[in-house]
A = this chain, B = another copy of it.
Amino acid sequence: MTHTEKKELRSRSKNELKRNNILMSASKLFCELGFSATSMDKVAKLAGVSKQTVYSHFGNKDDLFVASIVCKCEKFELLVGSQQVEQDPKTTLEGFANRFISMLLSDEGIAIHRVCASEAKNNAKVSELFFNAGPKRVIASLSECFERFNQQNLLNISDCHCAAIQFVSMIRGEAVMRREYNTQIQLTADEINSYIKQSIELFLRGYGYSEPSQC
């Protein structure tokens, strides 16, 4: 390895580190403050680099925004997780609903939804990316899950995609609305759990599920 190669490697490594710092700082600020209130100055300061370095890595504010939200979306996929298809419908839905509502109500979940929705007009690229990486994927996997329950005669759903939307929409419920609008009164964990329980019951009653304990 020549001297120049060593130098290039060190240089590249340093670049990647700074690039990553900038990306993390931008993600954090965009989610916390929104697009407009996040300035390139703030990003540079938080990342510990000069503003010009931010520009040399990402060109302009829009591109930095897209890159940082894509970065967040990757994190999101981990949160969704895969469906447990081995269990009965009720247990599966309970597990899914709990993971799903936790994600929606998490600081990150609220933040990314808020910033994508509010920038949807000006930055359609971002909200489209988010929709495909997040909600769309969740709905598709839940829909497939319903297909399997249908085949096992555990559920009787005529339109699984429709049912998946119905389920995720229901689970969302008042809790997410109150978080989104940041109302003074927020729902307690008990209230949310009770609501989810009732929603699962409604869903299973409506789609012909019978308790497995029948003789």
A interface residue numbers (CB < 8 A to B): 34, 36-37, 114-118, 120-122, 124, 127-128, 130-131, 135, 139, 158-159, 162-163, 165-166, 169-174, 177-178, 180-184, 194-195, 198-199, 201-203, 205-207
Contacts and interface: CB of A to CB of B under 8 A. Distances in A.
Given A169-B170, A173-B165, A182 B135 contact: no
A64 B52 CA distance: 36
A165 to B, nearest CB: 5
A195 to B, nearest CB: 6
A163 B114 CA distance: 26
Contact of A205 (B120, B121, B163, B205): B205
A198 B162 contact: yes
Copies in the complex: 2
B162 A131 contact: no
A166 B173 contact: yes
Contacts of A37: 36, 122
Nearest to A115: B118
Contact of A177 (B36, B114, B128, B131): B131
Most chain B beta-carbon neighbours within 10 Å: one of A121, A165, A181, A205: A181
Contact of A117 (B171, B173, B180): B180
Given A34-B36, A162-B194, A165-B174, 9 more contacts: A37-B122, A117-B118, A127-B182, A131-B177, A162-B198, A166-B170, A169-B169, A201-B206, A202-B203
A172 B169 CA distance: 7
30 contacts: A34-B36, A34-B118, A36-B36, A36-B37, A37-B122, A114-B117, A114-B118, A114-B121, A117-B180, A120-B180, A120-B181, A121-B182, A127-B182, A128-B183, A128-B184, A130-B181, A131-B177, A131-B178, A131-B181, A139-B174, A162-B194, A162-B195, A166-B198, A166-B202, A169-B169, A169-B171, A169-B172, A201-B206, A205-B205, A206-B206
